[in-house]
């Protein structure tokens, strides 16, 4: 085993341990706040568990397979006769609204842990954005009639220095029909050309920040140039922008998951299984520690959002079951209903996992379609 592979495995296990610990600590903390007796705080699954600490009746353990974890609270298993409600310090001896908060705390802590990593990372390190190198020139566009070529690095627009593709867009969008001077670098040789941008036929999003989404849609002037997707650079941003950059991720991920569930045709493009996680973490570790740390933060956020899905044994499913009890004035749903709800949830989760693994197989071993350049 080469040193990098060993380091990667160590980083992967450490990352999974930290992400799981943040999630389970949310459950653990609020169980303790509500005076529930926590029997075990476990990282990993399988036997035998290794207990490295006991505190206030809780065994803190590490198990052989570092692919998850759990917090076991006393009296957490419903019984046919409802006797779990009589266990002192037990989970079901507490009001349903407290149980909802305990289940909700895990996903919330996963999301907060991701944000606690992303915001300082963006603030101190900057955000990655597309550079100013020409990746493609649309046929019959204003740029196609100029001296620009694929691979040129645009350095200034109308005398204003540019570093990113967003800088170019900002300098061009309001200059339809005007003569725009483009200065570029081609393999170390300086060049200059003039382009007259054309007003696009339909409105498009106005992007004026490295982290904010579009605030408006309108027709903008375009020159017909696409950026080189492999050319990226770090851009320093203020703390307020870093906060916005971090907060965008949970919202975008939630929309992506809902979109994938409602549109199965996009599922394989937006969802990855264990193979994708291993591949992406390996690539991130090779790319640099900042990329690896960002991926860890994004996985933490996605873990939190995924666990909020209202399916069976996921936290979201447990939240739904306890909310039903809240709305029924403390009356628990029947055991028959609980079993049916859990069974349906188990099947749905199984289908999601199967779909994610099938997506991995298709992504890694299937035929790769040709990538069509978009104008």
Q: What is the DSSP string of 207-251?
A: --SSSSPPS-EE--EE--EEE-TT-EEEE---HHHHHHHHHHHHH
What are the CA-CA distances from residue 67 to residues 14, 43, 44, 100, 135 (Å)? 11, 8, 6, 25, 40
Our separate counts of H helices and E strands in the chain read 9, 16
pLDDT, tens digit, 9 for 90 and up, residues 364-373: 455 443 333 3
Three-state SS for 14-29 is HHHHHHHHHHHHHHHH
* DSSP state letters, 35-80: T--EEEEEEEESSS-EEEEEETTEEEEE-SEEEEEEEEETT-S--T
Q: Are 52 and 110 in contact (CB under 8 A)?
A: no
Best CATH choice for the domain 128-235 from the list 1.10.1610.10, 3.30.505.50, 2.30.42.10, 1.10.1380.10: 2.30.42.10
What are the CA-CA distances from residue 316 to residues 33, 64, 106 (Å)? 21, 27, 10
In the chain, which stretches have pLDDT less than 50?
Answer: 364, 367-375
Q: Are 75 and 35 in contact (CB under 8 A)?
A: no
Q: At 265, is the secondary structure helix, strand, or coil?
A: helix
Quote the CA–CA distance of 329 and 155 in Å, as a whole number. 67
Question: Exposure of 118 by Cβ count < 10 A (0-12 exposed, 13-18 middle, 19+ buried)?
Answer: buried
Quote the CA–CA distance of 158 and 155 in Å, as a whole number. 10
Residue 54, number of CB atoms within 10 A of its CB: 11
Position 212 scores a pLDDT of: 60
Neighbouring-strand partners of residue 235: 127
**Is 40 labeled as catalytic in the residue annotation?**
no
Going from N- to C-terminal start, the domains of the chain cover 3-126+272-365, 128-235
Using the Cα atoms of residue 331, residue 336, residue 340 and residue 346 in order, give the sign of their dihedral: positive
Going by their DSSP bridges, the two strands 232-235 and 221-222 should be labelled as unpaired
pLDDT, tens digit, 9 for 90 and up, residues 59-76: 999 998 877 889 999 998
Q: At 192, is the secondary structure helix, strand, or coil?
A: strand
Name which of 270, 254, 291 is nearest 127 in CA terms: 291
Q: At 184, is the secondary structure helix, strand, or coil?
A: strand
Question: Exposure of 348 by Cβ count < 10 A (0-12 exposed, 13-18 middle, 19+ buried)?
Answer: middle
Going by their DSSP bridges, the two strands 127-130 and 232-235 should be labelled as antiparallel
């Amino acid at each position: 085993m080469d040193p990098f592979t060993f380091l990667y495995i160590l980083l992967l296990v450490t990352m999974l341990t930290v992400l799981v610990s943040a999630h389970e600590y949310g459950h653990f903390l609020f169980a303790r706040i509500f005076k529930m007796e926590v029997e075990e705080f476990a990282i990993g699954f399988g036997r035998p568990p290794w207990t490295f600490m006991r505190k206030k009746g809780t065994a803190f353990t590490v198990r052989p397979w570092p692919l998850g974890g759990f917090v076991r609270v006393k009296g957490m298993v419903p019984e046919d006769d409802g006797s779990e409600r009589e266990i002192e310090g037990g989970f079901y001896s507490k009001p349903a609204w407290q149980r909802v908060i305990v289940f909700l705390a895990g996903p919330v802590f996963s999301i907060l842990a991701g944000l606690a990593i992303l915001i300082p990372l963006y603030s101190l390190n900057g955000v990655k954005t597309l550079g100013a190198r020409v990746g493609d020139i649309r046929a019959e566009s204003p740029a196609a009639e100029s001296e620009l070529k694929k691979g040129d690095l645009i350095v200034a627009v109308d005398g204003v220095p540019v570093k990113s593709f967003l800088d170019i867009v900002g300098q061009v969008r309001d200059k339809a029909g005007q003569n725009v001077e483009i200065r570029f670098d081609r393999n170390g040789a300086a060049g200059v050309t003039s382009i007259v941008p054309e007003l696009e036929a339909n409105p498009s999003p106005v992007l004026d920040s490295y982290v904010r989404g579009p605030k408006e849609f309108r027709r903008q002037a375009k020159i017909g140039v696409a950026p080189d997707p492999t050319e990226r650079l770090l851009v320093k941003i203020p703390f307020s922008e870093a906060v916005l950059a971090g907060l965008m991720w949970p919202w975008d991920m939630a929309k992506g998951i809902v979109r994938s569930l409602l549109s199965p045709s996009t599922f394989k493009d937006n969802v990855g299984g264990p193979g994708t996680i291993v591949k992406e973490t390996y690539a991130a570790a090779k790319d640099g520690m900042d990329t690896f740390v960002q991926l860890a933060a994004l996985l933490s956020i996605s873990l939190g959002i995924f666990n909020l899905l209202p399916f069976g044994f996921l936290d979201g499913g447990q939240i739904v079951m306890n909310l039903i009890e809240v709305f029924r004035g403390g009356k628990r749903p029947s055991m028959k209903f609980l079993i049916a709800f859990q069974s349906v949830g188990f099947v749905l989760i199984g289908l999601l996992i199967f779909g994610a693994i099938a997506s991995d197989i298709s992504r890694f071993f299937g035929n790769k379609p040709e990538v069509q350049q978009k104008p």
